[in-house]
Amino acid sequence: MDTEFFLRWIAAVTDRVRAERDHLTDLDRAIGDADHGSNLDRGFTAVEEALAATPPATPADVLVTTGTTLIRKVGGASGPLYGTMFRTLGRSIGDAPDVTADALADAFSDALAAIAKLGSAAEGDKTMIDALAPAVPAMRTSFDAAAQAALDGAEATTNLRARKGRASYLGERSVGHQDPGATSMALMIDALRAV
């Protein structure tokens, strides 16, 4: 997977975020502060501009630029979290002009650890980790398996009680709503299939 592959992935994520913007915000309205879709859309629009302004030379450049831009532009909790994910993916891959499937799976494993550390969160807390964590081992098999695991993980957050983030203030009342962060995470992993 070369620089072009990662540019296509980020472009696909940007399109999906734009298309799902209102849906993500609606999910966030139920248990959060109703800004997840618009925050991510703003972030990925800035990513699109940054990648167009300075064409990246390597896969890592694509990912680190994406992460740094999200950290600077999103404004909500998802900025530092997704920013850390993409930056960790980039740093983990290193200078390789062509990334193997194994190297990308390793990088996603590192990204999961980095997000868990930054957010002091674990699987089952009703966060984006509930979509990412099951996708990481599945990525050793295929993008299809990873996407399915992420989508299933996101769907399963509906029955969880939130222990992190704004929704945790709701306690039991957070049960019955799918987590917006897990939903956007599944969307990003699912976008790998179409690249």
Partner 1 sequence: MVGLVLISHSARLAEEAVALAVGIAGDDAPIHPAGGTDDGGLGTSIAKLETAVAAVDQGDGVVILMDLGSAVLTARTFIEDRTDVVLADAPFIEGAISALVTAGTGADLAAVVAAAEEARTIGKLC
The residue (of 79 and 143) whose beta carbon lies closer to partner 1 is 79
Tokens 């296509």 identify what position? 8
Instruction: Kindly indicate which of the ranges 51-59, 68-76, 125-133, 152-160 contains the residues binding partner 1, using the contact rule CB under 8 A.
Output: 68-76
Q: Does 79 bind partner 1 (CB under 8 A)?
A: yes
User: What is the C-alpha separation between 148 and 1, in angstroms, rounded?
Assistant: 21
Tokens 């740093």 identify what position? 91
**Per-position DSSP letters for 9-68, written without gaps between them:** HHHHHHHHHHHHHHHHHHHHHHHS-S-HHHHHHHHHHHHHHHHHHS--SSHHHHHHHHHH
The residue (of 56 and 165) whose beta carbon lies closer to partner 1 is 165
The residue (of 27 and 151) whose beta carbon lies closer to partner 1 is 27
Cα–Cα distances in angstroms (integers) from residue 180 to residues 43, 55, 145, 168, in the given order = 16, 31, 21, 13
- For residue 72, the minimal CB distance to partner 1 (Å) is 6
Binding residue (CB under 8 A) for partner 1 from 37, 56, 134, 165 = 165
Q: Which of residues 125-164 bind partner 1 (CB under 8 A)?
A: none
Q: Which of 53, 67, 49, 59 is nearest to 7 (CA)?
A: 59
Q: Does 118 bind partner 1 (CB under 8 A)?
A: yes
- For residue 5, the minimal CB distance to partner 1 (Å) is 27
The residue (of 153 and 165) whose beta carbon lies closer to partner 1 is 165
